[in-house]
Amino acid sequence: MALEIERKFLVNPIQWSELPKPPGTLYRQGYLSDEPFKTIRVRVAGEKGFLTIKGPSVQTVRQEFEFEVPLSDAIELLGLFCPDQVEKVRYRILFNQKIWEVDVFGGQNKGLILAEIELNHAGESFGIPSWIGREVTDDPRYYNSYLASNPFSRWDQK
C-alpha cells in the first residue's frame, strides 16, 4: 500500500517573491471524484500525465496510488470530465535535506501560495523555512479538490 504523509502550509508572498527559485513546472488538474472517502485526480504536469487515487485523510496520512498515463489521455480526460480545474506552477525547494513543494496558484485561485512537505512518518521532525506561514494541513479548504470547485478568489474570508 502506498502512503502519502504530508503537511501543508501557507507561504508568505512577500518573502516568497524575494527568494531565488529554480524553474517551476506548470500543473493543470481536475477531479473525476472528490468524495470524502476517495479522490480521483487527473493531472498534467509539464509534459506528463497522471491519474491519482487518494483515500481519506487521517491527520497527515492517507493512501495514495499514482499512475503515469499518456499525456494525450490526461488532456482528453481533463477536457471531457473535469470542468472545474486547478492551475498552478510548482517549485521544488530543498531546505534542511527535505524537499518543499511550493504551489503558486493561477486562474481563480490566483494569490494563493501553498507549500507541502512529504514525510517518512507522521511524527517526523523537520526544519521550517522563514517564508513558511500558518499550517493548514487540517483545513479542507486548502485541498486542491476543494479549490477546483470553490476557488480562493470566491472565499469571503481568507
Catalytic choice (31, 91, 142, 143): 31
Amino acid at 24: G
For every residue of 98-154, DSSP letters joined together read EEEEEEEE-GGGTT-EEEEEE-SSTT------TTEEEE-TT-GGGSHHHHHHS-GGG
83: CB partners within 8 A, 6+ apart? 30
Three cell numbers, residue 79: 477536457
Known catalytic membership, residue 146: no
SS3 44: strand
Three cell numbers, residue 5: 504523509
Three cell numbers, residue 11: 507561504
Which residues are catalytically annotated?
Answer: 31
